[in-house]
A and B are shown apart, each in its own frame.
Chain A
């Protein structure tokens, strides 16, 4: 019997060109994401029809409110996307190393308080300096706020997911006390702080409500991309979520310490969202400043598979969804809260894809 001659290299052994690799990655990451988005919107439409709403009218209102005009895109969608992108970047920064920061909402408020408190005292400063001061203050406040869960994790092994979550409620109470106590506006009538001076207000894109916080979000995304893809520390952090022991041996780093740093930075980034919201949108500290941005951001980050560049896109998508939902409630009478259902469906679907991917990898590793 003649020996079988290999005429072509088996597919697995063929060298992968960069282009092929990119295409493969795109197929594995982009396709499921697009599928999820489309399916979710279809399910939403079907549910609305079943509930007796005019799905076509609702969908049209959603589109008009989100992307239907230059005004809708800049003044509604991107303004809502800004805190979502920043918070999602914060969430992703910790989760890239395997730490779960569910306290984005609380850190948002910590940042908002710090930005308002500092913003009120920098009236005489030049604008750039004043804004820089509020952002720095917010970042520090976020780091301080999350340092409690970090300490509890390092010292007592407390699950950071639960401790950060619990601190959200403390932060909300703190805001409530601030706007009725130390930071209340001078007449002491309304539960809000005084309006911050012009120097601390973020510049707007002319003719729109889009503020400089969006630029900050883009810069942060670029920085995170650089840290994750171009620095050794970022590489080790990402590797730590797969095999902490291996990273400790290879890098001689203390993975616990790396995770602590990742969580602290994560808290700082999340707090910046509070600062841009106060400086760019509300211009004063209020209660209920965030309609649950911290939780929506989890969906934003997961939809982007924690990739900084993709977080911008998914942040804009969810920002559009929320802006559109507001229009949908106004024009078609559909309760805007249904976007939470959409978010939940997106998160769960992604989790399932992720979990199945894991199983495949584990099966391969075990073989």
Chain B
């Protein structure tokens, strides 16, 4: 009994953490280049709707592709107005998210009508890793998850390698630390900022697709419910490091999964406590209680 509960808790943790991890890794890329993109929430929402539309019309694979493209498109708009035209990043990101809420709401109603019926969308099934998925406790959590979870997990070492072991990664970090010095050293900082933002938007779109195709199975207005903003906090909590982002996302997932566990154990604790727990954790993380770390120097400067 306990083992089933714990295995379920771990599986729920990873499930909740997956979209957050993907979005956080995307935001991490952007922030390492010096851009704080609050529009990632909008990218995620656009990704969710694009995934729903793609999946309904052409199947789940098309849904994933659409989502990645939609997320990238919004991030490209953000890159255009902040990098090229130098607008304030925080307000531009808020505006992009606002626009995305309006756009997705309108397109959703135009595409699927205003009826109250819930849209039923084909979902992706978990991929079992043979043998490993039967492991006690951690088997279901790590080896019986949808494809996007594996993508997210694989991206952690990949991003680490890119950021800290490749020339392009070094240039991206230099762009985020001191744009003028990097430019003087011959780095194309504009390209690095734009590409890191667009790649971040792609991951946010994939995060939105995960929500729709692997978890909820339908689209609803404003369904991302601030997960993109949480991802921004996770990057800080994870100290701008891919492994840190993974741990932060898992922590967030665990806090949410505790909610299900406590409900299963019929404990009388207000469920809202678990809703706010992750946000409070993020605030604690922002305060640097877990150790001070320096943000990229150029962060937030357009």
Contact = CB atoms under 8 A, between A and B. Distances in A.
Q: Which bracket fits the contact residues of B?
A: 35 or more
Contact of A335 (B95, B106, B279, B282): B106
29 contacts: A158-B286, A158-B287, A159-B286, A162-B232, A165-B38, A166-B230, A169-B279, A170-B276, A173-B272, A173-B275, A181-B270, A296-B98, A298-B95, A299-B98, A335-B114, A337-B106, A337-B109, A337-B221, A338-B102, A338-B106, A340-B99, A340-B103, A341-B103, A342-B102, A348-B92, A348-B99, A351-B87, A351-B92, A351-B95
Interface of A: 51, 100, 102, 148, 152, 155-156, 158-159, 161-163, 165-170, 173-174, 176-177, 180-181, 292, 295-296, 298-299, 302, 335, 337-345, 347-348, 351-352, 354-356, 358-359
Chain A interface SS verdict (over half): helix
Given A169-B226, A177-B270, A355-B88, A340 B276 contact: no
B110 A162 contact: no
A173 B276 contact: yes
Given A102-B94, A347-B98, A152 B283 contact: yes
Interface in B277-298: 279-280, 282-283, 286-288
Contacts of A170: 276, 279-280
B34 to A, nearest CB: 14
B196 to A, nearest CB: 19
Nearest to A176: B272
- Enumerate the 9 nearest inter-chain pairs by beta-carbon distance, A residue then B residue, closest first: A340-B102, A344-B99, A337-B105, A351-B87, A347-B95, A341-B102, A177-B272, A173-B272, A156-B287
Given A100-B91, A354-B87, A163 B286 contact: yes
Contact of B101 (A169, A173, A337): A337
Interface in B64-87: 81, 85-87
B46 interface: no
Q: Taking chain B's interface residues, is the majority helix, strand, or loop, or is none over half, making it mixed?
A: helix
B220 to A, nearest CB: 13
Contacts of A163: 283, 286
Given A341-B106, A351-B81, A159 B300 contact: yes
B94 A298 contact: yes
B28 to A, nearest CB: 15
